[in-house]
Structure 1
């Protein structure tokens, strides 16, 4: 029952109800002087210590230990007498045994201050929230090891204000370190002080790329494949919007709204100025438009006819939609009043005006949904095996109506095949870039320019099995832990009578180190 107290001589065990008291003494063996290391067994006196041990049968255990004060036999030693310690059991100035401290520290590490204090009371080893915080601060920070493959990513401590950099082992997913910012200097300094890194997985950040290049010129940089696909998705959406006048002819006709009228007016103004030789920047100044907006209109061959999918609420007319559609198809000149009388006899309880609005909106005949640019983009970016039959048919209709959409669909499918790592993907990527530059898709041309700027890392991402997926997962968990750490920092600051740090402030160096545990 008290095997953990084997280093002591137990003389008596007293059952005190909710508390078990153990009377013990230290063994009569020589111990080394803590200064000179000479063994001694000469006793100068005795002292009593009262410490708490792990509970037994749900009851607290209190140990009354008699320890010796020994005399150092070396003349001139700085410590003439010293109190003996029991290694592995009793530490200097501690009121708990080592094993009880370890158990409480494990609880504190998971729950922090007040929550840990509440749980320890149920475990018959009560501590206050202040003691829990002190135990948390005493937990040693594990030594930072240097893995062969690391993943680097940033995360927001306070969005748009303060960020940090997380470094993990890309092979095991273990969190290695957290840097207090996302500047190139911080990552470069960390890499210089941790030699041995051979491969670094990152996103498309030019800051991280330059830091890795400066610190480890021989390391292989791997661009994350998910970020490559995400960048391509944005360019594909821009291309679909640019060619909306072509493929949008598959949508049902509808009188143009205010948005479509404004779009056409801007398109004509931009192209009139460009036709007279006015530059893009001067166009943006004359028309009071953003430069990127002028660029977007300049790339559209015809005025955009983007449509928004109508979102209607259920009405009382919906159950009679099929009857209305059949009657209007058989007799186009039938009056609304006549239709109102017919559905009234079938149980319609709505008003005449509701029926008029329903028919005016075209909801009786509107059996085709409007295809928006985002919907068309989703069809292009979804694996063909994961599309429904109706989606496959719609995609075929879109690519038939617009040659650029057919070319875009082919290029997207070829690039998707490159995302499966293989040895020959570097050569295939070169062929894909050449084919893309030959196509009339300017937004994909800019995507190719970005690939060329980071070509070595992109080739490594398409040929090696490493990626930044584990980093994103650890990143998400770190954000959750950060809320607990900031609360602990505020409590700790109040404990030492300092001004509590606000929850929105960034972590101190100590907090940043604890994030790595």
Structure 2
């Protein structure tokens, strides 16, 4: 008796009881001592489910894979595990896919930067055809040679794919798909924008004067009685008075200065200054350090000029003022530059990065915001080269997206044909190019 599971009927579980014959072999040497008869199209060897239930679960697995397929199967009354669904899918025979006429070749990554493979897609049906374990030219050539009916190969600009197509399908026309054309155009446009980085320094109108006024308002005075000195703050003064009283009390009790510094966690220099001061007020008369005359005072205009030019490296500007006669140390220059870093700086419009400008140029004009329109207009007004680049990119983008290849000029088509010849024969000379253009063998490839 066998009890194979079957497809539910009317929402109810179906229980099958099959009586089949078991045959036994009387030959002791026979490896198959016993076997059971099968019902064709209904049961299989060692099968716990009927053929139609296996086919139904395999169809659910193909559509939804493991976990989602299990959830749907439970609703339909066919409770199985996700491993069973995937096992049934893997047991299906490979589909008989006809040889494609137009195939797309591209790479995919199983581990980005380390392990790559090749995917082949039927461009007409937009379905994957095969996966190759690597992206070598020999693998692509072998696959193409095994499928002789290929007429067009749509690939990216990788040289190993071009070599594989030439070796495996020399009769096929090699074309670049629109995505790779647009991607290559975007990379070239970004490199062109990066070469004109200096033209991207655009300031918003009126931002400089307003920012300078704000900086002047927040700039502390460093001379005279109006200096914002921390020596005159109440919080600091109370701490000085308390420390002065504590140090003098311990001195009168007979403690040494070293012992006082160890107990109060003060340096020897701090204990000495507190002990030498007869009154706490004597410590407040110390001149604020930024008011002291230094050896770089007469070179501060030069330092300010270099700061405005964008040079914020203290070591570099110190090396520049030494030949001018400055005798100050690097520490004084570094302190002055550090003060300029912490002081409020003029708020100016940040220049756009090359990638942002490239996105503005490559985007449809109607998709840009008003701010992006204004900033792009300012950039193009400052750089005629980028304006010319925009004038070339946007008509080409319109031809590419709207598939208006007839708008290409005649000499552009001629250049395309010449490039096709050079890729097929890198050592071709002018006579060879002239001969191939007139024989018509490459003319159709150039048109494509």
TM-score range, shorter-chain basis? 0.5 to 0.7
Distance 1:227 1:119, change over 3 A: closer
Q: Given the two structures, how large is their TM-score scaled by the length of structure 1?
A: 0.48
CA contact under 8 A between 1:155 and 1:164: conserved in structure 2? yes
Q: In structure 1, what is the equivalent of residue 111 of structure 2?
A: 158
After alignment, is 423-432 or 403-412 more displaced? 423-432
Give 1:168's aligned residue: 121
Q: Quick check: 1:415–1:432 contact (8 Å CA) kept in 2?
A: no
Distance 1:380 1:130 in 2: 50
Say which of 355, 375, 380 aligns to 1:399.
380
Aligned residue number for residue 413 of structure 1: 394
2-side partners of 1:382 and 1:452: how far apart?
Answer: 32
In structure 2, C-alpha distance between the alignment counterparts of 1:162 and 1:58, rounded to whole Å: 48
Tell me which residue corresponds to 1:8. Answer: none
1:155 touches 1:166 (CA, 8 Å); kept in 2? Answer: yes
Q: Counterpart of 1:172 in 2: which secondary structure? A: coil
The CA deviation string for residues 259-281 of structure 1, in whole angstroms up to 9 with x for no partner, is xxxxxxxxxxxxxxxxxxxxxxx
What do you get for the CA RMSD once the two structures are aligned? 4.5
Q: How many positions carry a matched residue from both structures?
A: 300
Alignment partner of 1:424 out of 386, 406, 411: 406
**Given that residues 420 and 446 in structure 2 are in contact (C-alpha distance below 8 angstroms), is that contact kept between their aligned partners in structure 1?**
no
SS of the residue 1:52 aligns to: coil
Write the deviation string for residues 442-490 of structure 1: whole angstroms up to 9, x where unpaired: xxxxxx989975899xx999966xxxxxxxxxxxxxxxxxxxxxxxxxx
List runs of 5+ in structure 2 lacking aligned partners: 24-34, 222-339, 426-436, 438-442
Deviation track 1:221-271 (CA, whole Å, cap 9, x = no partner) reads: 1102222222222222222222233x2453379xxxxxxxxxxxxxxxxxx
In 2: Cα distance, 1:452 partner to 1:252 partner: 48
Whether the aligned pair in 1 keeps the contact of 2:122 and 2:128 (CA below 8 Å) is yes
Aligned to 2:203: 251
Change beyond 3 A, Cα 1:238–1:454? farther
More strand per residue: 1
* 1:100-499 matches, cutoff 5 A: 100-109=53-62, 120=73, 123-127=76-80, 131-132=84-85, 134-245=87-198, 247-248=199-200, 250-251=202-203, 325=210, 328=213, 360-363=344-347, 366=348, 368-419=349-400, 420-424=402-406, 427=409, 430=412, 453=423
Residues 168, 175 of structure 1: 8 Å contact kept: yes
Shift of 1:58: 4.0
What do residues 99-157 of structure 1 show as CA deviations (whole Å, max 9, x unaligned)? Answer: 11212223444566677667655644344566545433321121232121111111111
1:63 matched residue in structure 2: 16
Residue aligned with 1:155, SS: strand
Question: Equivalents in 1 of 2:391, 2:69: separation in Å?
Answer: 58
- Give the Cα separation in 1 of the matches to 2:389 and 2:421: 17
Q: What is the TM-score with the length of structure 2 in the denominator?
A: 0.54
Q: Post-superposition shift, 1:64? A: 1.3
User: Quick check: 1:425–1:462 contact (8 Å CA) kept in 2?
Assistant: no
Does the aligned pair in 1 maintain the 2:44–2:50 contact within 8 Å? yes
Unaligned runs of 5+ in 1: 1-47, 71-81, 254-320, 339-355, 435-447, 465-517
Decide whether the 8 Å contact of 2:212 with 2:346 is kept in 1: no
Deviations 1:412-452 (A, max 9, x none): 23433442434535645728979xxxxxxxxxxxxx98997
Cα-to-partner distance string for 1:159-207 (whole Å, 9 max, x where unaligned): 2222221111112212211122221111211111112111111111111
Alignment partner, residue 470 of structure 1? none
Of structures 1 and 2, the larger Rg is shown by 2
Deviant stretches of 4+, over 6 Å: 332-338, 356-359, 431-434, 448-452, 459-463
More helix by share: 2
- 1:51 alignment partner, SS class: coil
Distance 2:104 2:15 in 1: 48
C-alpha distance after superposition, 1:49-105 (max 9, x if no partner): 3322212354432211234689xxxxxxxxxxx976443333344332221121222
Give the secondary-structure state (helix, strand or coil) at the position aligned to 2:103: strand
